[in-house]
Amino acid sequence: QVQLVQSGGGSVQAGGSLRVSCAASAGDMLTYYCVAWFRQAPGEERGSVATLSRYGGTDFITSVKGRFTISVDNTEKTLYLHMNNLKPEDTATYYCAARAGLYCPTNQPADFTYWGQGTQVTVSS
């Protein structure tokens, strides 16, 4: 059983940077899990932002490519989402997620087993 506890996020003006973190109870997330960040804005469905897996590498939605990075620190057992050049449309609740596997075959929320509690990111114009 994997437990994910999120921290970070907050409020920033457009063009600023934030980081969200996701601490895992599992010993080696990158070896055995596909991990991901999702986001959900009010009135919208939860959607993928980025995925990372050992053999699949990283993948990002088009709107965040070049601005967001996803990484895992196995020593700290923590997943990170670094967000630069933030835009108001990035405002949402951000969720980390994980599923067993060396690849991320899909980026659909229903296919992920473990979830963090969510962290608010607000970007003002």
| pLDDT exceeds 90 at position 31 | no
Structure confidence at residue 27 (pLDDT): 67
pLDDT at 28: 73
Percent of the chain predicted with pLDDT > 90: 82
| Mean pLDDT for the chain overall | 94
Q: Which of 42, 109, 47, 119 is nearest to 79 (CA)?
A: 119
User: What's the pLDDT tens digit per position in 72-90?
Assistant: 988 878 999 999 999 999 9
Q: Given a cut of 80, is residue 120 above it in pLDDT?
A: yes
- The C-alpha angle 80, 26, 76, rounded to 5 degrees, equals 45
Say yes or no to pLDDT of 116 above 80. Answer: yes
Residues 96, 116: contact at Cβ < 8 Å? yes
Element containing residue 32 per DSSP (H, E):
helix 29-32
The pLDDT, as a whole number, for residue 26 is 74
Q: How high is the pLDDT of residue 75?
A: 83
- With a pLDDT cut of 70, the percent of the chain lying above it is 98
If you count DSSP H runs as helices and E runs as strands, how many of each does the chain have, helices first? 1, 11
